[in-house]
Structure 1
């Protein structure tokens, strides 16, 4: 039904003018778009331009003022159908002169440009209407020159894998920001403290920002639900987080200690991913009794030799993963109390000598992975009581 409605809507747009794409309100067919881009004329009717770059077989040379005659343009998309692994070093098919674009319409509400080839957006662009900004794999070093740029309507900013990005805008002028994605921005050094003014922020992802060392110490934003700090080796302290956080990624970061003050109050936390140089987990992790469903520990430092017994209080835990925790010596006794646990993954935990005798109490356990647990020489008899077990890997 959805496809049928979409087809019908496209036919309605085509009926606006069958011969001249400049007289249509929306353009999505690549031949029509190339015709408009290659021969810029007055195109007042065009409100949306969406080009799947996978359909383009040749390089397109854009002139600096290509959008100057599109005063009503509200949506501009140059995208790859699968942008999940956009290679930033891959040459883009859209070329701009060295000075970049000289104009973008101030009417834009959505700008999605994969592998944007210039260092910044036009200095005369006033993005006060912008709601959605997505420019993954870009050549941006900064969005705009100067900080006083009005972004009062911006809700989503996605600059992932923009490896040359060295700074982001002052966030005090972005009061409605809800999602901020900066993963893979390897030249980024600092997130401005004005992030604390984004009261509507629900997600911030800075994973793989290998040079990021400046990060706000207080993120007690009352709408925040997801924080991604994984593979940020220069972030050494976990910021103060609000109790609203549901997902926290921080494996392979520089964080060695997770204190009770950091996570004991996160009463809505459902997924916790830790590891890297982490030395220990606090006993207060047991305070997450009514919320935590996934605990994933990747690696861990040389002092991570045990998991607090209080983890056995988290009766809602569904997935416990300890991957390549090479110094982990044992699992806590009482693990059999985790009646909802479905997956216990211990691959590469080479110092664990035995499993707890009450492991048979895991009545919901479906998957048990012990690959690389070379110190385990026998399994407890109670393992035969795992009535739900479907997969055992030794």
Structure 2
């Protein structure tokens, strides 16, 4: 049967010409045929093939077409659909070619497009056909030619090739296939066939061939073009050609890749060029913050670039093929290749040096990237760059001084100075009215933040983490749009400024790891604050009671504040605080007013070694789901009258799901027997405590941990809901034979239940 099929394929006049130098075709053909499912003769299936320009979509489509052609009663391969659809005559010609191939009618003439569509619906609805639509770029082209699966007879297959994955999703194709770059072995083989007319390079050309392979990064078009170009050249000529490619792309490759860029709108083009020039390999969230700061709508923009195969995103990093990056950089240079002063973006230190040397003609410059220029010590005047929007000096580890003219750049939206470790001199005041993101984190010699002057209503995020900053000016209160202020691990920062104006937009304040001793009572002016982070502030001794006026606060993080001895009284209900972290503090007790945290879901007091007691009012926090008291070694008992009301009354800790009392100094009888009325309790950890027995009556418990309970003597009947019982090193329990069999029985029940889950 396979021999007959092979003969039919070769004799069929519709078989398309495909170069014999295709590498890896067997695997790709097998993968695509599995998606086509030719054996399913009752279904009509549409398959999409997508990938970047020059990756081999058309070639693979031709291979599949030739291989499966004999299974269909009519077929058509429509090439270059994008270009041919641009005018009415072209669209009419596509319909005629389609119908001629599938109906095998000579001299078919259509008077209009509607006639063609109706003929497809009426004449092909009972015929099994194969159709390839090559290089589609708009939904209207699909609506014209393959508007619905119902237009075609059972067993028909439609294959669509495109650079736009989103187009396939919108048309709701049955499956998509991404054409990947060739692997190293395939790339060597394809390149060698064009450069040397053999499958491997000669010995003396191996290193140079590998340079080409690394440059092409598996793109078949580049491998063919460069191989053909270098054919017959000497080694010195190869070296010269490769040196040229580093600065100037091959235009045949460039023009094919550029087609995808030309199909973007203005904003999408700007995002693409920014990534090509500055952001390849950077963190997606970091890039999104910068792009959003320029009103570029990063989320949708990045998705479109992914759909057009211009970028990929993996592990939260943005990646771009080297040749696509080179194409983008060439677009920036193309109008004025020898005059970097007229480029919109500068990223190469040599080009930046040439542009700054002339000190004129920089009016169009929008973005400067000097990141990781480790020998850069100072930046000259910015007065000749009125349109500069973004300045990236991240990682300029020798930079000591930024010129004061920086402080008045009216259009600057993003200033990146992260890890400029020697930076000392900065404008004493700034009036950057368009600035949205300021990053001075890691500048360990940067001690004084500039005064805020003028209208800086756009500044949303300030990053000062691990800087040498000692204080902030009170003028920071004029930053009315500020959403995030980070000072994590600023070990010299001792005092937060007194704020006299409401800062409604500030949602995140991070002061963890600073030397701060207390917060000012004026903290209540941060009326929009949602997260207050003070972790590892070892000098912090108290919090102001005015904190309770922060009605939108969701979380307070105080873990590692080892000198914090008291938590403030909560004088009014706070509905939104869901998380309170007090691990490793010196608290001896919590105030009875803790019950005013009406929305609290998680309270963590791990390693609070001075904690002696809990207020009974804690049992009135109906929302509490997780309570962690691990290693609170001085805590000998729980509240004396907790949970005395039935859970069915919706009072008490009726939402508590996880209770961790491991490492507490609980003695026998310290656990109230009515603890078990907590119907929501799913996990209980009593490891390392001195309890003697576990009372009966646990209802919905799933996990019970009793490790190292040296005094434990008895465990009564366990609930059927239990899935995990961890009770190793309970030495007294092991010695009681009368209870040993009961324990084994309980464990057996647990394992049996677990298997049944």
Cα pair distance change 1:10/1:138, threshold 3 Å: farther
2-structure distance, mates of 1:179, 1:246: 15
2-structure distance, mates of 1:25, 1:44: 17
Cα pair distance change 1:65/1:78, threshold 3 Å: closer
Equivalent in the alignment of 1:47:
344
Equivalent in the alignment of 1:216:
497
Work out whether 1:326 is the aligned partner of 2:618. Answer: no
2-structure distance, mates of 1:10, 1:296: 53
SS at match of 1:96: coil
Work out whether 1:297 is the aligned partner of 2:582. Answer: yes
Q: CA RMSD in A?
A: 3.8
SS at match of 1:204: strand
2:463 to 144, 169, 181: 181
CA apart distance, 1:173: 4.1
Pairing of 1:85-124 with structure 2 (within 5 A)? 92=372, 94-99=373-378, 105-117=385-397, 118-124=399-405
Task: Check the 8 A contact 1:245/1:268 in 2, yes or no.
Answer: yes
| Greater helix content | 2
Corresponding residue pairs, total: 356
1:392 to 672, 676, 684: 684
2-structure distance, mates of 1:44, 1:78: 15
Task: Check the 8 A contact 1:205/1:227 in 2, yes or no.
Answer: yes
Pairing of 1:1-394 with structure 2 (within 5 A)? 4=165, 11-13=259-261, 27-28=276-277, 32=326, 41-43=338-340, 46-48=343-345, 65=353, 68=356, 71-76=363-368, 92=372, 94-99=373-378, 105-117=385-397, 118-125=399-406, 126-139=408-421, 141-142=423-424, 144=426, 146-173=427-454, 175-176=456-457, 177-185=459-467, 187-218=468-499, 220-223=501-504, 224-241=506-523, 242=525, 243-253=527-537, 254-260=539-545, 262-274=546-558, 275-283=561-569, 285-301=570-586, 304-356=587-639, 358=642, 361-375=652-666, 378-393=670-685, 394=687
CA apart distance, 1:174: 5.6
Task: Check the 8 A contact 2:466/2:488 in 1, yes or no.
Answer: yes
Cα pair distance change 1:256/1:228, threshold 3 Å: same
Cα pair distance change 1:62/1:174, threshold 3 Å: farther
CA apart distance, 1:196: 2.5
2-structure distance, mates of 1:204, 1:96: 30
Cα pair distance change 1:12/1:167, threshold 3 Å: farther
Cα pair distance change 1:338/1:180, threshold 3 Å: same
Unaligned ranges ≥5, structure 2: 1-49, 51-163, 168-255, 265-271, 278-319, 688-757
SS at match of 2:261: helix
2-structure distance, mates of 1:111, 1:320: 43
1-structure distance, mates of 2:369, 2:684: 47
2-structure distance, mates of 1:113, 1:298: 38
Greater relative CO (CA pairs within 8 A, separation 6+): 1
Task: Check the 8 A contact 2:461/2:484 in 1, yes or no.
Answer: yes
2-structure distance, mates of 1:183, 1:70: 33
TM-score by length of 2: 0.42
2-structure distance, mates of 1:61, 1:197: 36
Cα pair distance change 1:4/1:44, threshold 3 Å: farther
Task: Check the 8 A contact 1:25/1:45 in 2, yes or no.
Answer: no
Task: Check the 8 A contact 1:65/1:102 in 2, yes or no.
Answer: no
Cα pair distance change 1:95/1:64, threshold 3 Å: farther
Task: Check the 8 A contact 2:573/2:598 in 1, yes or no.
Answer: no
1:36-60 residue CA offsets vs partner (Å, 9 max, x unmatched):
99xx9414674357x8xxxxxxxx8
Cα pair distance change 1:331/1:308, threshold 3 Å: same
2-structure distance, mates of 1:181, 1:219: 22
CA apart distance, 1:364: 1.9
TM-score by length of 1: 0.75
Once the two structures are overlaid, the 10-residue window that deviates more, 114-123 or 224-233, is 114-123
2-structure distance, mates of 1:350, 1:239: 33
SS at match of 1:115: coil
1-structure distance, mates of 2:412, 2:470: 25
CA apart distance, 1:341: 1.2
Cα pair distance change 1:14/1:312, threshold 3 Å: same
1-structure distance, mates of 2:517, 2:365: 41
1-structure distance, mates of 2:528, 2:263: 49
Cα pair distance change 1:124/1:264, threshold 3 Å: closer
Cα pair distance change 1:295/1:255, threshold 3 Å: same
2-structure distance, mates of 1:266, 1:250: 16
Unaligned ranges ≥5, structure 1: 17-23, 52-59, 80-91
Cα pair distance change 1:123/1:172, threshold 3 Å: closer
2-structure distance, mates of 1:162, 1:334: 46
1-structure distance, mates of 2:400, 2:632: 46
Task: Check the 8 A contact 2:485/2:508 in 1, yes or no.
Answer: yes
